[in-house]
Structure 1
Amino acid sequence: MPGVLEIHNLQKNFDAVKVINDFSLEVVEMTLCCLVGPNGAGKTTTMDLITGRQKPTSGRIVFRGDDITGLGENTIAQRGLGRKFQIPAVFKELTVRQNLEVAYSIQVNAIRNLFSFSSRACHERMGDVADQVGLSRRLDVVAGTLSHGETQWLEIGMVLMQDPALLLLDEPVAGMTEQEVEKTAHILKTLKKSKTLIVVEHDMGFVREIADVVTVMHMGSLLAQGTIETIEADQRVRDVYLGTEEH
């Protein structure tokens, strides 16, 4: 069965520099794939290419059977692909509830947005999402007063309000306390029962906790892929991580 996401021979050049070099990947539905590698390996650029933030030089990206190569960010998002960046982009002056309401609206027309906030579907979706990210008791709290971990969970919730089939997360536990990391692991392991996830992460302890599949990138190419046990035993991976990779 084909994957929910298929990347075929992807390449991205900046002038004469190949940032992504013949990279291929298949992500199976309702699995959690961790994308790892040293700094400068091309992980964030790959995420940018998948989501339409950047355009590939060559290669193909297929999402749920449709070729999305080179499409715009909004078009790709509307097809069911959501992304959370490393730095949360929440509305700090609004409550958790209001942030989720804003995230629910996908209408370009501002008047229709006002009606979507009060819709039954919005409230039902909000209740489900708030439970999923552990914020059901924090809905009336102003986002700017949330802890770092809660802010990260809120942004995950904002992406989930769009009900994406594929969720991309960029270093979701950076700067978190140990307890927050544990809760985030629980959230992601619960989400993969109904979503497909790709997580870029440097914390190998966290990767070990959540990953079904680990994909290792090096210099824009696929270095290794497999279970965490397979990856940790791979001498090529050990050599790369012990090296002095630069941005």
Structure 2
Amino acid sequence: MPGVLEIRDLHKRFDSHHVIKGFSLDVVEQTLSCLVGPNGAGKTTLIDLISGRLKPSEGSVRFYDDELTGLSENEIAHRGIGRKFQIPAVFKNLSVRENLEVAYSHEVNPLRNMFKFGNAKMRARLDEVSTLVALQNRLQVEAGLLSHGETQWLEIGMLLMQEPRLLLLDEPIAGMTEVEIEKTARLLKEIKRSATLIVVEHDMGFVREIADVVTVMHMGTLLAQGRIDEIEANPRVREVYLGTEEEAA
């Protein structure tokens, strides 16, 4: 399968603090990759660099052969990369339906959106996405009244309304119940049928359940990559996770 994302010799420095150190990675289309590593390994910084939230000090990030370094977050999002943060960012005073509509139109003002919501393509997408994230029966509920898991699914749904080709998810199951975690695993596997995912995650049980490829970071570098069984058997990975080496800040 063709490559989606090509990262080459990526560096990020904050003054004298070298956080990402010559990191390179290839991500294959329609795979679910989990990014793991000790706290401070550079996982969220890497996601920030891919999404344009941060600019690299050196190196290249290419998405379907399109160079992303130097582009703004909005420009990168318009190229088909969706980013979900650990803390959900939804409009709590709007209904589930309105949140999905806003995500589709990129316009927060409800009055302006009135002229766009009659769009048949938008309605079809809303029906498809709300069913996928299991919120089709919650469309009229105010987002602030949703459970934690439902709020996480709504934010994923908001990303899906924009039909991204690559989703970057930062700890999507943090704070979820076991039932919600199981539903999220099924959801991400279904999304993989039409998109590529990179998931930052600490819960190795969840990683074991969903990952096609596991990428292990340590102190801003690529420590190991492979199937979960290969990663769990890797003595260097076991050494780092047992805390026998100093972790990066």
Alignment match, 1:245: 247
Q: Write out per-residue CA displacement over residues 190-245 of structure 1, whole angstroms, 9 at most, x where no aligned residue.
A: 11011100000000000000000000000000000000000000011111111063
Deviation of residue 188 (structure 1)? 0.3
TM score, norm. by length of structure 1: 0.96
Unaligned runs of 5+ in 2: none
Alignment match, 1:28: 28
Q: For the residues of structure 2 that align with 1:106 and 1:142, how far apart are their CA atoms? A: 19
Q: For the residues of structure 2 that align with 1:134 and 1:18, how far apart are their CA atoms? A: 42
Aligned residues: 247
In structure 2, relative to structure 1, the CA distance for the partners of 1:109 and 1:67 (3 Å cut) is: farther
In structure 2, relative to structure 1, the CA distance for the partners of 1:111 and 1:6 (3 Å cut) is: farther
Is the Cα contact below 8 Å between 1:171 and 1:199 reproduced in 2?
A: yes
In structure 2, relative to structure 1, the CA distance for the partners of 1:87 and 1:206 (3 Å cut) is: same
Q: For the residues of structure 2 that align with 1:51 and 1:121, how far apart are their CA atoms? A: 27
Deviation of residue 108 (structure 1)? 9.9
**Where in structure 2 are the equivalents of 1:1-247 lying within 5 Å?**
2-106=2-106, 113-243=113-243, 245=247, 247=249
Is the Cα contact below 8 Å between 1:96 and 1:138 reproduced in 2?
A: yes
Is the Cα contact below 8 Å between 2:51 and 2:73 reproduced in 1?
A: yes
Unaligned runs of 5+ in 1: none
- Bigger CA drift: 104-113 or 49-58? 104-113
Q: For the residues of structure 1 that align with 2:11 and 2:110, how far apart are their CA atoms? A: 38
Is the Cα contact below 8 Å between 1:104 and 1:117 reproduced in 2?
A: no
The one-letter code sitting in structure 1 at the alignment partner of 2:137 is: R
Is the Cα contact below 8 Å between 1:166 and 1:195 reproduced in 2?
A: yes
Q: For the residues of structure 1 that align with 2:135 and 2:108, how far apart are their CA atoms? A: 28
In structure 2, relative to structure 1, the CA distance for the partners of 1:23 and 1:109 (3 Å cut) is: same
TM score, norm. by length of structure 2: 0.95
